Amino acid sequence: MHSNRAYAIETPARPCARNVLKQIAQRLIVSAVAILPAYLAATATVQAQPYPAKTVRFISPGTPGSTTDIMPRVIAAELAKRLEVTVFVDNKAGGSGMLSAQALVAAPADGATLYLTTLGSMCIAPFVLPSMPVDPHKDFIPISLTATLPLILVVNPKLPVKTVKDFAEWVKANPDKATYGSAGAGSTSAISAALFGKAANAPVIHVPFRTMQLAADSIIKGELTFLVSDIGVIAAKVKEGELRALAASTAQRSPLMPDVPTFTEGGYPMDLTLWYAVMMKSGTPAPLVERMTKELTEIMKMPEIVARWKDLGLETGKLHGADFAKYYQSELKRWAEIIPPLDLKEK
């Protein structure tokens, strides 16, 4: 006898879309974990590639003990540890920075030579020197803006002026006494003083000195009227009351001397930031340029470097590689417009 009971046929449940996606995600994670060690090992191998040059020459435009000598020595010590090579500083002072620039251009483009240069050598010298033995547009690869600093206008505190505007009025009233010192006609100190004289429509008389230190001492003795100098030369003398700081050349006040207003604040627009930078020779292989850029970028972030730069009266540079290259090109263009009207070309 047959029953009329209905029999249900059970079929396996179909997984929902959420479960399928979960399974796929788990498989991807497992795969990623599996290949991660191999990826990290490959990356480490690339980063650990030995630098091809066993000895690196770091050309300095300064004399022993100067800021442009100390900076490359500090950087060289860090580079030597990072690259595991010997890095030595080669001082080539003189010729408004051209002896050092020529030394780099004469070296092979093999990544074994670095060059510390300045705003003055690259952007101002072409419009001041009778001839240029190097081409700032073609002979160099910008690597790292290592430091910046403002220039500060200082006077003898006995002079009856408290602000840059007071001083401009004094200069106009005493045109035969407004002497300023500098390390040479093409130096950034001379350019700054000339720019101030032009902005204030006041006559200023240039007196060149062998060093900025001698010029500062001359102001203290009452022989010279004013100086536009980097902080390193005058900071201690300002603190001790031997000099009075009236204005800073940069667009904003310097964190190193925050109480000193800018020329622009005083009514005389100026934006002159002195900078130091590391260059390599044009034609240096791209991988070596990239490696050096990477190392210098990291070195400039080190707290001990920031502190050492501050002791030297410097602000740590923050532009490297492509960013610095862009800034460098803008500086070449900007100073090509500013300097020629000042008629400072050496005969």
61 in Cβ contact with 92 (< 8 Å): yes
Cα of 4 vs its chain's centroid, Å: 95
In a domain, 66, yes or no: yes
d(CA 104, CA 115): 6
Q: Is the same domain home to 77 and 127?
A: yes
Q: Is the same domain home to 332 and 291?
A: yes
Provide the number of structural domains found in the chain. 2
Residues 6+ apart with CB under 8 A from 2: none
In a domain, 309, yes or no: yes
Greatest Cα-to-Cα distance within the chain, rounded to the nearest angstrom:
136
Exposed e or buried b per residue across 157-188, where buried means at least 16 C-beta atoms within 10 angstroms of its C-beta: eebebeebbebbebbeeeeeebbbbbbbbbbb
d(CA 146, CA 73): 13
d(CA 126, CA 173): 34
- The DSSP secondary structure of 160-202, one letter per residue, reads S-SSHHHHHHHHHH-TTT-EEEES-TTSHHHHHHHHHHHHHT-
Place of tokens 């800073």: 248
Q: Which amino acid is at 140?
A: F
Sign of CA dihedral 192, 217, 214, 101: negative
pLDDT at position 322 is 97
In a domain, 313, yes or no: yes
203 in Cβ contact with 174 (< 8 Å): no
In a domain, 44, yes or no: no
In a domain, 253, yes or no: no
pLDDT at position 231 is 87
d(CA 100, CA 86): 20
* Orientation of helix 164-173 relative to helix 188-200, angle to 10°: 80
- Reduced to 3 states (helix: H, G, I; strand: E, B; else coil), residue 114 is strand
Q: Is the same domain home to 239 and 94?
A: no
pLDDT at position 46 is 41
184 in Cβ contact with 308 (< 8 Å): no
Residues 6+ apart with CB under 8 A from 330: none
pLDDT at position 346 is 67
Whichever domain contains 96, its CATH number is: 3.40.190.150
Range of the domain at 214: 150-248
pLDDT at position 347 is 61
Q: What is the mean pLDDT of each run of 10 residues along the chain (347 residues)?
A: 43 51 58 49 53 95 89 97 96 89 97 96 90 96 96 95 96 92 82 89 88 91 94 90 96 91 93 95 97 97 96 93 98 93 75
Whichever domain contains 185, its CATH number is: 3.40.190.10
In a domain, 3, yes or no: no
In a domain, 298, yes or no: yes
In a domain, 67, yes or no: yes
Q: Is the same domain home to 142 and 220?
A: no
Q: Is the same domain home to 177 and 98?
A: no
pLDDT at position 133 is 95
